[in-house]
Structures are given as structure tokens and as C-alpha cells.
């Protein structure tokens, strides 16, 4: 019953929805969940007559500048549904940073195709791009509703409990570290040290997920964990490895690619090259430190650097992650159709011992170019993840790791005279 029917104040008139086309783009490093958000956007958008077409940009915002669009409304529904379980970016990705010289061109393209709704799926830099486009439309007097859809394995977006893409990557890291640790334990007599390098430039969320491989057993690998939130010292590292090998006969190290010294110098900076947003290319810390263990400690060491495998292995995906990625995609459209713009969809965790997440909204202005690091309560004095982090991250994996068994090792008596 309306307010007027009850004798109260009349209900405000329903706002007439803007008619036009929806444009969707994916940017930054692809994940196993990024396409699930794309499907959520498409499925929700199909339910609104005001959305007169659903276009996808090829290679992120570069597709907008080049007018390289695909008509997602013409795709087979089975193909779209299959994308929910397909890794990488179906539309292609890029890391192009918009400049003022791009504004006239992008606005010209949007006007020509009557683009009135825009969704960008990505991380920090993508939210900055979304913010710029929302401001561009406002400044030019062109009505454009813009919504950011979060995606990053780094889990470093602010104002959201976690980011779609992180849960699956965290599950991969936990499995990778646990399985390679068994290999190290089996071969500890010949190669006692294993250094596993994990993605994470400034934030150690993904490296911290290596602690989930312990499954509550403190003596289980990884033995040492190094995240960017704590300054890294080579001297301390070598001392830690030496002591661990003396105590346990082996040492498995989870190392963030973004570890740096007190002055902020990256150990993994391969060159002075940067991307469009000024980020240094990282990689190689595990190679350097593994050789150092060989040379300085006289211990044979191996290194693992799975690189993009961490964000592209659908076989390790978390069902919780995929479902939440789909949900934020749908909610982005729902909010835009309510007249909301200039926001990013967030995940909001309900308090209590059980796990439940709903969605919320955050201003793009507050999200863009900001980074959320591991809080102090998630790291102990060594820089290792605490029980609070384990409680936070475990539900995001979408279930327990596969159970393994160990031989009891019943000894056979030696024969007399041996």
C-alpha cells in the first residue's frame, strides 16, 4: 500500500530510468573470477528494457578509445554461462592510464553509441579510470552512470572486506605451498631449502595465504613467511633459514615478490621499467635468495615462482569466490538502474562465527589509487600471519584443502649380521 493510500505523505514519483547502451570493460591482471563478474553484469542487464544493448570493450579502456566493441547481447546464452567457469579476461585486458588527451575521443565514442551505463571490472587503477570517466561525463554534461566492480588477487582495495579473485588465488597458494612442501620434506636430505615466491607488490595478503597450508599445525610448512608490510633483511633471512634447518632439517619459505628493505628498495626489481601507472616490474627475489642460501649457508636450495599461475588456475578456484564475483556484477547493474553512479560495489561480511557476505557501495573517489595493507592484528612480531588472519581468510577458500595421508613407517628389523 502506498503512503497516499494510507493517508500519509505521497510517495515520491518513480525516477524515469535513463535509456541507452551498457558498456563493460575488464582491466588489470585477469583472475579466475573476473569473467564471473562479467556474466553477473550481463545476466542482470538483460532484465532491463532501458538497457538497449550490451557492449564489451576489447582490451579495457583501450577498446573504448579505439571503438573496438563486441555485442554481448548476440552471444549464445550457453557461452555466457560457461564464462562463469572460464579463467582469464574474456574481453581482453590492458593497463592503459587515461590522460586528458583521451577525453575528447572517449566522449565522442560514447556519444556515437549512446553509451549511458559503464561498468569497469578491475583493481585500484581501474577504479581510478572509472572515477575519471564519471567525472568526465559530469563535466561535459553527458549523463553517464559509472560503476566499479572489484577484482584483484592482491586483495588490496579499500572499503571492501575482500576482493573477488583473492579467494581462488589464496586457495592456489595454499595448495601450491602445501604440495611443494611435501616434495621438499621428501628430498630434504639432498635439497633442504625451498623458496616459493608469491605475488604482492605492496600488500602481503596473498603471501599470507601460504599460512593456510599449515592447517593448524604450527610445525608444518611453510616455516618462514615474509610479507611487504615488514622490512626485509638479508642477514635476518639467512639466520632464520639456518636456524630452521638446524631445528627441522628443512626450511620452506613463502616470500612476497614485494619484499623490500627499510629504505623501501625492492629486492625483486628486475629493471627500471614501469607500466602506465608507474608500477615497477618485479620478479626474481626467490632466484637471488636461493643462490645466496647456497653460497652463504652451504645449503642446497630450490626456488618456485608460479607467476601468473596464481591467478589463472580454474581447477583451484573457490566456489565462494566465483559466486561473490557473480553477485557484485549483478549488483553493479542493479544500483545503476536505481540512478546510482560513481561507486564501487563492495563485499560486506556479517559479524559472527559463521560466514555470510552481502554487498555495499563505496565512493570511487575514496577507492581509486588507494591500497589496503595487512593490518597489524593479522601479523605477529615475526611478520607471520596470526590466528585472526587465518579466521578471516579460511572461509574465502570455499572449503577445506583435499586431505592427505602419511605412511605410518613401520620399520623392518635388520637381519642378524647386518
- Does the structure show a pLDDT above 50 at 5? no
**23 Cβ contact partners less than 8 Å away, ≥ 6 residues apart:** 55, 56, 57, 64, 69, 110, 113, 115, 117, 118, 119
Q: Nearest CA to 376 among 263, 227, 240, 244?
A: 227
User: What whole-number distance in Å separates Cα of residue 374 and Cα of residue 155?
Assistant: 9
β-pairing, 224-226 vs 251-256, is parallel
Category of 269 on φ-ψ map: left (φ > 0), alpha (ψ -120 to 50) or beta: beta
- Does the structure show a pLDDT above 70 at 268? no
Per-residue pLDDT, 265: 87
Q: Nearest CA to 32 among 352, 383, 398, 373?
A: 398
The reported pTM is: 0.92
The verdict on whether 321 is a catalytic residue reads no
- Does the structure show a pLDDT above 90 at 163? yes
pLDDT in tens, 57-108: 999 999 999 999 999 999 999 999 999 999 999 999 998 999 999 999 999 9
Residue range 285-291: mean pLDDT, rounded: 92
**184 Cβ contact partners less than 8 Å away, ≥ 6 residues apart:** 191, 192, 193, 194, 221, 250, 252, 302
Distances (CA, A) of 90 to 26, 226, 368: 8, 34, 24
| Dihedral Cα 78, 80, 82, 86, nearest 10 deg | 160
Per the listing, cell 627441522 goes with: 248
Per-residue pLDDT, 201: 86
Q: Which domains does the chain have, with CATH numbers?
A: 20-164+317-367 (3.40.50.450), 166-315+373-397 (3.40.50.460)
Residue range 40-57: mean pLDDT, rounded: 98
Which residue among 154, 156, 223, 321 is the active-site one? 154
Residue range 342-354: mean pLDDT, rounded: 95
Residue range 131-146: mean pLDDT, rounded: 97
pLDDT in tens, 216-250: 999 999 999 999 999 999 999 999 999 999 999 99
Band of pLDDT at residue 369, cut at 50, 70 and 90 = confident
Band of pLDDT at residue 118, cut at 50, 70 and 90 = very high
Amino acid at each position: 500500500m502506498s503512503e497516499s493510500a494510507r493517508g500519509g505523505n505521497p510517495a515520491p514519483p518513480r525516477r524515469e530510468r535513463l535509456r541507452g547502451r551498457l558498456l563493460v570493460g575488464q582491466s588489470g591482471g585477469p583472475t579466475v573470477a573476473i569473467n564471473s563478474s562479467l556474466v553477473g553484469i550481463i545476466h542482470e542487464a538483460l532484465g532491463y528494457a532501458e538497457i538497449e544493448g550490451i557492449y564489451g570493450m576489447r582490451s579495457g579502456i583501450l577498446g573504448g578509445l579505439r571503438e573496438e566493441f563486441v555485442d554481448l547481447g548476440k552471444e549464445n546464452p550457453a557461452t555466457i554461462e560457461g564464462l562463469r567457469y572460464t579463467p582469464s579476461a574474456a574481453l581482453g585486458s590492458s593497463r592503459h592510464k587515461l590522460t586528458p588527451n583521451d577525453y575528447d575521443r572517449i566522449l565522442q565514442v560514447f556519444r556515437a553509441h549512446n553509451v549511458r551505463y559503464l561498468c569497469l571490472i578491475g583493481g585500484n587503477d581501474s577504479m581510478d579510470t572509472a572515477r575519471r570517466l564519471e567525472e568526465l561525463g559530469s563535466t561535459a554534461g553527458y549523463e553517464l552512470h559509472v560503476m566499479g566492480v572489484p577484482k584483484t588477487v592482491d586483495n588490496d582495495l579499500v572499503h571492501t572486506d575482500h576482493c573477488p579473485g583473492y579467494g581462488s588465488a589464496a586457495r592456489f597458494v595454499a595448495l601450491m605451498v602445501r604440495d611443494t612442501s611435501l616434495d621438499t620434506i621428501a628430498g630434504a636430505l639432498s635439497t633442504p631449502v625451498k623458496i616459493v615466491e608469491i605475488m604482492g607488490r605492496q600488500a602481503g595478503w596473498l603471501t599470507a595465504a601460504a599460512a593456510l597450508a599449515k592447517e593448524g599445525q604450527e610445525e608444518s610448512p611453510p616455516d618462514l613467511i615474509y610479507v611487504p608490510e615488514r622490512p626485509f633483511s638479508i642477514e635476518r633471512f639467512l639466520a632464520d633459514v639456518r636456524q630452521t634447518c638446524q631445528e627441522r632439517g628443512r626450511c620452506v619459505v613463502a616470500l612476497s615478490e614485494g619484499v623490500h628493505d627499510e629504505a623501501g628498495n625492492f629486492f625483486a626489481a628486475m629493471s627500471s621499467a614501469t607500466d602506465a601507472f608507474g608500477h615497477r616490474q618485479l620478479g626474481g627475489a626467490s632466484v637471488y635468495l636461493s643462490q645466496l642460501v647456497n653460497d652463504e649457508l652451504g645449503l642446497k636450495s630450490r626456488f618456485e615462482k608460479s607467476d601468473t599461475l596464481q591467478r589463472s588456475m580454474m581447477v583451484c578456484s573457490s566456489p565462494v569466490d566465483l559466486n561473490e564475483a557473480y553477485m557484485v556484477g549483478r549488483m553493479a547493474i542493479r544500483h545503476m538502474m536505481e540512478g546510482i553512479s560513481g561507486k564501487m560495489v563492495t563485499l560486506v561480511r556479517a559479524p559472527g562465527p559463521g560466514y555470510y557476505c552481502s554487498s555495499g557501495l563505496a565512493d570511487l573517489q575514496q577507492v581509486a589509487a588507494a591500497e589496503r595493507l595487512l593490518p597489524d592484528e593479522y601479523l605477529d612480531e615475526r611478520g607471520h600471519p596470526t590466528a585472526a588472519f587465518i579466521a578471516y581468510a579460511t572461509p574465502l577458500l570455499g572449503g577445506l584443502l583435499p586431505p592427505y595421508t602419511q605412511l605410518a613407517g613401520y620399520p623392518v628389523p635388520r637381519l642378524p649380521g647386518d
